[in-house]
Amino acid sequence: MLWGRVSSVSSANPSDDYAVYRDDWGVPHLRASDALRLSHAQGRVTALDRAWQLEVERHRAQGSSAAFLGADAVTWDRFARQSRLDDTARRCHEALDPQTAAWVRAYVDGVNEGLAEGALRDERFARTGHVPTPWEPWVPLSIWIATHILFAGFATKLWRERVGRALGDEAVTLFATDGPGTAGSNGWLVPGDRTATGAAIIAGDPHRFIEDPGVYQQIRLSCPEFDVLGLAVPGIPGLGHFGHTGGAAWAITNAMADYQDLYVERLRPAPGGDGVEALGPDGAWEPVHRHTETISVAGGDPVEVEVLETARGPVITREESADQTLSLRYPPRVRRDLGFAVLPALLRARTVADVDRALDGWAEPVNVVHAADTEGGLLHRVAGAVPLRDPANRLRPVPAWDARYAWRGWAETPAEPVRDFAVMANARGIAAPLGVEFAPPHRADRIRELLSGCTDWSAKAMADVHADTRLASAAALLDLLPDLADLSPAAEALRARLLAWDRHMAADSTDATVFAAFRTATVRGIAADPALAGLADAPTGPEVFHPWLYLLPRVGYALEGLLTTPLLPALDRVAHVRAALEETAAAQGADTPWSQVHRLVPWSALPDPDARWPGLGGDHDCVNATSSVPGFTDLTARASAARYAWDLARREDSLWAVPLGADGVTGSPHHRDQLALWARCELVPVVTDWARLTKETHA
């Protein structure tokens, strides 16, 4: 039985049943008398440390964030309501088994106990006038769905549809790449025969948009049943993505699987004018759920939203004249399951077999998993729910009225043995049967190359892999330089400099800055080429999808492929590269280190215009994957949202780091105390000795 003997949090004051300790970095270490009280403690401490973040995420999931964030939040709120994120969470919560529901409820009770006190710590509540109200039991599930609804990049299908119409069906994957709207990661598993201790090491870093406060929370959860440390998602109980139980450890990356579909819907008024109907796959007109909701907007007028749902799923865009009335079909809404029962099971894992068995129930999002245990067990598998359907569903919106495109069950998730070492970096590999577009192989290949150079790896040495700045994707552009003719003297000198460059996007490299300028000029030239004119118009439709639909970023991320593809015979690549080299040479001024232009710009619900953020090394295809948007900006908003190195020999030798710090309150001592270390790809020690921690008192 998963839970053993289940009890309820029955103390008059549940806070009396747990203790909070902190290490020197402010990381909470929680001890409780049982698992439910521990979940309550996790919720309460998270509310004390991150009340503002929790409330922002809760209201974004509900589509109500504009009520205190203003008109800029309406775009997201409209999408959240039209795609029925919170309603899906309610349905998934209703379907939970009683034990998991009690565990989630204990977390929510803890959040509710701590929210008011946490809000008093953070001036953003007073500034916006936002007053927290009690969470409903399904809010953690709602936050989870909202956090991951765009992970599989279904909006890429809108872009492919646009490419197909402009350039022909054979070109729909022409711009395939790990683009700006997806979330990637690095991860690697080094078996014991390649480590100094003889036990495995799991290391890596999830790549997400960097947010303030950070999207991952360092935490330790301890009770008589288990003692686990790892990286939690604030608002979610347990440690779903990265954890170390002492006996076993696990980590994930985005599998890049395709598991969400867009259906082109044909709608008409229902007979008598009361309601709406959709043309179904059997040729009959079907009733469509319809209601309206109102978004409150701070400082503005309310916005009314029409919510429609066909038998396929919620309608997320309605433009019938352009054949762009689209419904979204996604597994949690179909299955009423997020896989939340896996979360408490992972906390109890002692072996790889335990992790593997737990992950059989995983649903959303689809991940590649590494796991290892102290007995020498190793695991490399995919976990999550991927529907079986026609291959065309993966590429573009498909007609709802054609039964060919209906879902037909669920795919088997692959696994493979670990030989030498296992690497996951969103590239085509173990998850290839489940997806369409994957990251270029450069990060994965570079990690394998670095790992191959040593047979006595330690957790501490993993920072050297995290920090690597080799940019293999530069080759496609630089390889065109030797054959250029009739260059100006300045361009000749620049060509020689670029060809001599070591291809590292190091923080102090001035050559990296020059290369980035040359790449920008090339991207802009290609994006302006008449061959791509059919893609140059500004995006239409819901603004939430626009990041996938602008041509310039698409060219920037797909540059490597565009420089080599035979699908654009009219594109004179050599002419664009020559023009970009001349332009860069003419504009070149004093040398500037890469980190001075490649600066961090985190997302914040209330941006601080006076905040000063560090410059970084790395680039999109480096292991140190700090992503700018080539051709648009050298600033970076997406990078490693955490770094970790789990040591299976001695858990206390493990290391980790987050971009900011453990506390979500601006100006607090632990809000940004890891930032400088993170910027240098350094890690901080994991502390497991309770005697080295400071016990807190709480009311």
pLDDT digits 0-9 by tens, 375-434: 999 999 999 999 999 999 999 999 999 999 999 999 999 999 998 899 999 998 999 999
User: Minimal CA–CA distance to 112: which of 261, 248, 9, 3?
Assistant: 9
Q: Work out the angle at residue 672's Cα, subtended by the Cα atoms of residues 669 and 676, and round it to the nearest 5 degrees.
A: 125
Q: What is the pLDDT of residue 180?
A: 47
Output the DSSP codes for 272-298.
GGSSEEEE-TTS-EEEEEEEEEEE--T
**Could you tell me the domains of the chain?**
162-176+467-637 (1.10.1400.10), 261-333 (2.30.120.10)
User: Residue 448's Cα: distance from chain center in Å?
Assistant: 23
Residue 389 CB-half CA count within 13 A: 27
Sort 485 into a burial class: Cβ within 10 Å, 0-12 / 13-18 / 19+: exposed
pLDDT for the residue 5: 32
- Dump pLDDT digits (tens) for 133-185: 999 999 999 999 999 999 888 999 999 999 999 999 998 988 887 554 555 79
Report pLDDT digits (tens) over 285-343.
999 999 999 999 999 999 999 999 999 999 999 986 656 899 999 999 999 999 999 99
* Confidence (pLDDT) at 59: 98
Cβ pair 184, 439 in contact under 8 A: yes
> Nearest CA to 26 among 604, 521, 679, 662?
662
In terms of Cβ atoms closer than 10 Å to its own Cβ (0-12, 13-18, 19+), residue 37 is buried
Q: State residue 16's pLDDT score.
A: 64
pLDDT at residue 7 is higher than 50 = no
**Number of other residues whose CB lies within 10 A of the CB of residue 586:** 11
The structure tokens listed for 148 are 């991951």
Strand, coil or helix: 206: strand
Dihedrals phi, psi of 684, to nearest 5 degrees: -110, 155
Q: Two tokens at 375?
A: 């007995």
Average pLDDT along the chain: 93
Query: Pairing relation of β-strands 267-269 and 276-279?
Result: antiparallel
| 3-state SS, one letter per residue, for 145-189 | HHHHCCCCCCCHHHHHHHHHHHHCHHHCCCCCCCCCCCCCEEEEE
Cβ distance 585 to 488 under 8 Å?
yes
Report the distance separating Cα 409 and Cα 84, nearest Å.
23
Q: 407 is written with which tokens? A: 């879902």
Beta strands in 374-453 (DSSP E): 378-383, 398-399, 422-424
Residues linked to residue 211 through DSSP beta bridges, in sequence order: 603
Query: How far is it, in rounded angstroms, from Cα 390 to Cα 408?
Result: 9
Classify residue 409 by burial, with Cβ atoms within 10 Å: 0-12, 13-18, 19+: exposed
Mean pLDDT along residues 57-72: 97
Half-sphere exposure at residue 363, Cβ-oriented, CA atoms within 13 angstroms: 19
Check whether 698 has a pLDDT greater than 80.
no
Torsions phi, psi of 328, nearest 5?
-110, 125
Q: Render pLDDT for 183-241 as a digit per residue (tens, 0 to 9).
A: 579 999 999 999 999 999 999 999 999 999 999 999 999 999 999 999 999 999 999 99
pLDDT of 528-561, one tens digit each? 999 999 999 999 889 999 999 999 999 999 999 9
- Give CA–CA dist 472/449, Å, rounded: 12
Task: Examine residue 365 and say whether the peptide bond preceding it is cis (omega within 30 degrees of 0).
Answer: yes
Reduced to 3 states (helix: H, G, I; strand: E, B; else coil), residue 240 is: coil
Task: HSE, CB side, 13 Å, CA atoms: give it for residue 52.
Answer: 23
